[in-house]
Amino acid sequence: MFEKTGIPSEEMIMGKFPPIERINKGPVAVVECYKEIPCNPCETACRFNAITIGEDINNIPVLSKDNCTGCAICLSKCPGLAIMVIDGSKSDTTVQVKLPYEFLPLPTAGEIVKGLDREGRNLADVKVIQVQNPKSFDRTPVVTIEADRSIMYKIRNIRTEAK
């Protein structure tokens, strides 16, 4: 179905999430790149050797959950915007999620925005914690949101209201 709709199955998604123990320890990347394409900037961008593609740039990236520091550098480097960072160390009831977001208006810290799933459906209102947009991110800002744990495997996008 994924190849007909662009929507990954739950099984595919869960296969990319590090175990909950790792998520609860601190920020870690979720690399949702499911198909072989000639691409490897994620591997090149990571300073911690946490993403491996290898000699053949068509290989699917493999994340080392132990090497990954959740620094989020790779988020803005991935042309497929396929990577997010999840952090379960801050609270027992919520997680913080960092998402690449290339739309205007950019939200600001403290704002409440719509949290969307992988089909663009509204899941819940979520709070924006931080918006990073330094020059080195080259026009791919990274937005950190706080979401309830009940939607941690579903949330993948946000929508801001036009101002």
β-pair partners for 24: none
The answer to the question of residue 74 lying near ligand SF4 (CB under 6 A) is: yes
Comparing CB distances to ligand SF4, the nearer of 50 and 123 is: 50
52: contact with ligand SF4 by CB under 6 A: no
Shortest distance (Å) from residue 80 CB to ligand SF4: 3
What are the structure tokens assigned to 111, written together? 């704002």
Instruction: Give the span between the Cα atoms of 60 and 5, in whole angstroms.
Output: 20
Q: Which amino acid is at 119?
A: E
Residue in 96, 102, 50 with CA at minimum distance from that of residue 73: 50
For position 46 contacting ligand SF4 by CB under 6 A, the verdict is yes
Which does residue 114 touch among ligand SF4, another protein, none (CB within 5 to 8 A, set by kind)? none
Task: Tell me the pairing of strands 122-132 and 142-148.
Answer: antiparallel
Among 160, 20, 157, smallest CA distance to 97 is for 157
Work out the angle at residue 72's Cα, subtended by the Cα atoms of residues 71 and 78, and round it to the nearest 5 degrees. 145
Of 23, 83, 97, 128, which one interacts with ligand SF4 (CB under 6 A)?
83
CA distance 117 to 152: 10
Q: Which does 4 bind (CB under 5 to 8 A by kind): another protein, ligand SF4, none?
A: another protein
Which positions touch another protein (CB under 8 A)? 2-8, 32-41, 44-45, 56-58, 77-82, 102-104, 116-121, 138-140, 156-157
In the bound state with ligand SF4, the residue whose beta carbon lies nearer, of 51 and 99, is 51
Residues forming the site for ligand SF4 (CB under 6 A): 29, 31, 33, 39-42, 45-46, 48, 50-51, 61, 68-74, 78-80, 82-83, 85
